Each structure stands twice: as structure tokens, then as C-alpha cells.
Structure 1
Amino acid sequence: MTGSEESPSFRLAYVPGVTPSKWVRIWNERLPDVPLILTPVAAGDALDVLRSRGADAGFVRMPVDDEDLSAIPLYTETTVVVVPKDHLVAAAEEVSVDELADEILLHPLDDTLDWEQPPGKPAFERPATTADAIELVAAGVGLLVAPQSLARLHHRKDLTYRTVTDTPQSRIALSWPKDETTDMVEDFIGIVRGRTVNSSRGRQTASEGSKPGAAKSKATAGRKPAAGKSTSAGKAQGRSAGRGGRSGAAGAKGGKPGKPRRRS
């Protein structure tokens, strides 16, 4: 970790399609005195926001240039094709890229998929954003291949989506400036990775041997009682034996009396 000063708040950037609410809730439970400020950013601007210190960390889409930014890949998204509900594709559970070869596929300027060559037939003009492309799909201009989270984000009642196989997939990562790995960044990394409150990096957890009374119990576990001192078990046996002896004598005396002999 660096020695840079920490701000009294934690600024978290996130790109469209990412839902950080789960991690924000855990942060608020563990660090209630440090406000977490959410900053939505466009996918293409996210890395520049981190470099300019516009956020302490952010959920971004890979790839991430590791020269000045650290990144932890989190998950890979399913790729889907967005179509009108009455389109033939809607009747299938999934389709391949080859099955979309004769379709006009919209390729927005903010596309997050790393295509070598976008599939299908190109539209007359590229939409500026994914949101614009969704509107064009609803108008019947073409179809859109995108990460599933973006299809959900721009959901419309007249549209649906299906999984597309053999396509690039978008990966989400947590990223932050390498020279700004503060304690709060480490805390957030721990939350995202599912660490418990006592297992964050740099914090020691109490072991069994360090719990109160643990050393005492180990030290006395094999100790023998001193000579001349009876143990509680020995006392119990003595009491039991004493009771047994008395009960035996009582039994002898307590038998039925014999008949007196007649005098001759």
C-alpha cells in the first residue's frame, strides 16, 4: 500500500450494465462512517476517470492497460442478440453467429465486444450508443448483439433477446490506479472477493491458540495430580465403596430372624 492520504469518502465508478448495489450494501454495513459515492461512467471513459483520480476504484470492462492500473477480473458476461418479439430468432433458445449472417446487425460506436469482424450485414450508419441501437431494433431497422447486462438495462416490452454462441464475450473487472492502493481500496477488494470482516488483507484473525484460556487448558491438560491429594474421581469411588459396605452390613443384619429352639 502507498502512503497517499485517503479521502473521507470512497468514490466508486461503474459502467453501464454493472449493478454494484450488493457490494455497496456490504460497504455501508462495515464502514458506516465512510460514505461510498457512486459515479456512473461510459464504458469508453471509465479508465480515463480512474487515471485522472475521478474515482478511487471502478467496475470496468476489460481489457485494462496494466501499465498504470491494477485490475481483478470478476466475471464474464453472456452475449445475446436483441430482436423484436415477433422475429424468427425469438422462437429459438440460442443462435449461432452464422445464423445471423443474413441479418442487418447494428454496431454502435460504444460497442463493448472486441470483434475482429462484426457479423451480419452492416447498417447504413453506426448508432452513436447502445441505447440508440436498441431504439433502432424496436423500429425494425436491424438487430443488436451485446452483453446480456446491457440488453437487460435497455429492456423494452416489445423486444427480447437470445444467447448467441461463437461470439466475443465482455469481461467485468474491478480496477484502480496502481499508485493509489489505499486501505479503503483494500477494504473494497475484500468485499468484492467475499472476504469476511476479519479476513481482509493485512488484518490478523484470532487463532484458536490465541483465544483466552486456550494456553491454560493446554498447559494443564497432561498434568498429574500431586501425591497425597485425591482426585475428585477417587473421592467419588471412596464414597461409593463406603456406601456399599454399609449397605452390605445392613443386609446381613436385616435378614429374617430364625425360629427359637425349643427347650428339651
Structure 2
Amino acid sequence: MDVDLRKVRYFVAVAEELHFGRAAERLHIAQPVLSRQIRALEDELKVQLFVRTKRATELTAAGRQLLEDARPLLASAEAARRRVVLAARGPKTFTIGFMPGITVTAAVRAFTGQHPGLTIELLRTTWEDQVEVLHDGRADVSIVRLPIDQQGLTVRPLFDEPRVAMLPADHRLAGKPSIEISDLADEHLLQHPDAVPEWRDIASELRDGLPRPVPTLHNVEEKLEHVAAGNGISILPLSTASFYTRPDVVSVPVDDLGPNHVCLAWTATRRSKAVQDFADIAIRVLKS
């Protein structure tokens, strides 16, 4: 059975809004049309995707599974569309994604010298979208910080750098020349615990079964605002910490904390000469 991507897009809108009226407004279509399209999708799949009551709209187990599968499916379709359009226009633009704290100037200059006819664009990414920009076609290559989901990607190591603890300026450890990860056992980490497994393994709040919620943070600036306010601590790569300095937050080296691994990534299906040329340059220039 062929899946209609338009119906899948409609489904994702409803699944994210959990409200047919808001989803219809977001999609700029009438609500009865949206309802018919969702019913048609359910008929095609022979499953119920939503449970609708007068009070709420909720996903069924089948709906939750489809939402998990639909997002990468739509991203892949959009990436394919973008690549087709770019192929029709010719290779005129090359977009490089990069994470905060990473300087790509030397690699970009060398690459531009090899490809003077290309327009080079730079795209600042975050922990949330550093891989997504590759899958949806927004970037040709992306300089990423591990860990990432490497499925469908080609990943090449560039360099490692130390990670430091970001603390409020009046924190009890702020004046230390260095600390150990065990010194942070009673602190609240403003990141997903899996991002700092060394902290996860010794954290008091996890050991006691009382994990505190982590606020949704979209960038380094928001993270440091929470640190400065005393809401928790954060672990950052040294270059990022050095770039985002402020008087009410200090960085402290952590002696037994492993380094952050910086890599270059691109989608495994990409075979263009420009991608390979940039990879060769980045590995040579940024490693040094």
C-alpha cells in the first residue's frame, strides 16, 4: 500500500496539536476536510490513530507509532525534494552546519579557494537539530558534537576538546582550580543525563529516584541563564564555554570528565565531489 504523504503531514499536525481545530488552522484548511483526510488515512492503514472525546484528542498506540515513524519519513521526503531542486539548478550553493563554539573559518577559506564558483552558506545548529539539518537537506555537511544518532550518516572525527562545568559565580565550587565529577553529585544537571553519563552514574537525584525535570532549552544562552539563576549546572565543551562568557557564570575544569568529540557528518548517500573535498579540507585544517 502506498502512503499518501499529504495525509501523513495532516496526521502529524493533528498529533502535535492534539486538536483538530488548531491543526486545521496551522495547515490552512477547513476542519471538516482535515477530519475526512484523517479518517481516510485510518481506513487505508486499517487502524485507529486518535481517540476523540468532547474534552480531548489523544493518540492511540498505533498513532504514537505512526508519529515516531512519520517525522523522519517527511524529513526524508523534504530532503529529497530539496536535492532534486538543487540538482536542477546546478551545484551553486554549499551549506555547512556547525555547533556553537566551533570556528570553521579556516576550512571555509580553503574550501572556497578550491570551489570559487560555489556560494558558501553557514548554518548554526544546536544539540537538537545538528543531525536533523542533514536529513532534511538544510545542510550539505555538519560539524557535530557527539553523541549523535549516526544511522544513515558518514561520520569522520576531527578533534577532541575538554568539557567544563558551568556554575553560578557564587557557587561553592566556583573558586576551585579544578574539580572531579563526584563533586557535582548533588547538583541538578540542565541537560539530558545521557549527555553526561559520568554525572548520570553518580547523581544523587537519580540514585534516590527523584529526578528533577529539565527545562526545554533551545540554545546555550538559555542554558546559561538558568545556570546564572541557580537552577542547576551545565557541562559544556571548553570552546563553547570560552565563547559564551558572562560575569555571573564561571567555568571550572573537571579532571575526570571525558572530552567532547567533534566530527564532520553528512548523509551516507551523498557522493558529490564538493562534500568529499570539504571533508578532506576539514580533516586536515580543523584537526590541526
Between 1:175-184 and 1:115-124, the stretch displaced more is 115-124
Identity %: 27
Contact kept? 2:142, 2:264, Cα under 8 Å: yes
Contact kept? 2:147, 2:195, Cα under 8 Å: no
Between 1:19-28 and 1:116-125, the stretch displaced more is 116-125
Equivalent residue runs for 1:1-264 within 5 Å: 5=87, 7-102=91-186, 104-109=187-192, 112-114=195-197, 117=200, 119-122=202-205, 124-129=212-217, 130-194=220-284
Tell me the TM-score normalized by structure 1.
0.62
C-alpha distance in 2 between matches for 1:64 and 1:168 = 16
C-alpha distance in 1 between matches for 2:199 and 2:177 = 25
Which letter does structure 2 place at the counterpart of 1:50?
A: L
Larger radius of gyration: 1
Report the secondary structure of 2:223's partner residue: helix
C-alpha distance in 2 between matches for 1:150 and 1:127 = 20
Deviations 1:68-96 (A, max 9, x none): 21010112221111123343323222100
C-alpha distance in 1 between matches for 2:256 and 2:126 = 26
More helix by share: 2
Contact kept? 1:112, 1:170, Cα under 8 Å: no
User: Structure 1: any 5+ residue segments left out of the alignment?
Assistant: 196-264
Contact kept? 1:109, 1:128, Cα under 8 Å: no
Shift of 1:33: 2.0
CA pair 49-141 structure 1, distance change in 2 beyond 3 A: closer
Shift of 1:35: 1.4
C-alpha distance in 2 between matches for 1:27 and 1:112 = 32
Report the secondary structure of 1:106's partner residue: coil
Shift of 1:67: 4.2
User: Structure 2: any 5+ residue segments left out of the alignment?
Assistant: 1-85, 206-210
Deviations 1:39-86 (A, max 9, x none): 122222222221222211111122454542101011222111112334
C-alpha distance in 2 between matches for 1:181 and 1:110 = 36
C-alpha distance in 2 between matches for 1:100 and 1:116 = 7
RMSD (Å) for aligned C-alpha atoms: 2.8
Deviations 1:239-260 (A, max 9, x none): xxxxxxxxxxxxxxxxxxxxxx
C-alpha distance in 2 between matches for 1:160 and 1:98 = 18
Contact kept? 1:59, 1:174, Cα under 8 Å: yes
CA pair 118-77 structure 1, distance change in 2 beyond 3 A: farther
C-alpha distance in 2 between matches for 1:25 and 1:183 = 17
Query: What residue in structure 1 maps to residue 16 of structure 2?
Result: none
Shift of 1:16: 2.5
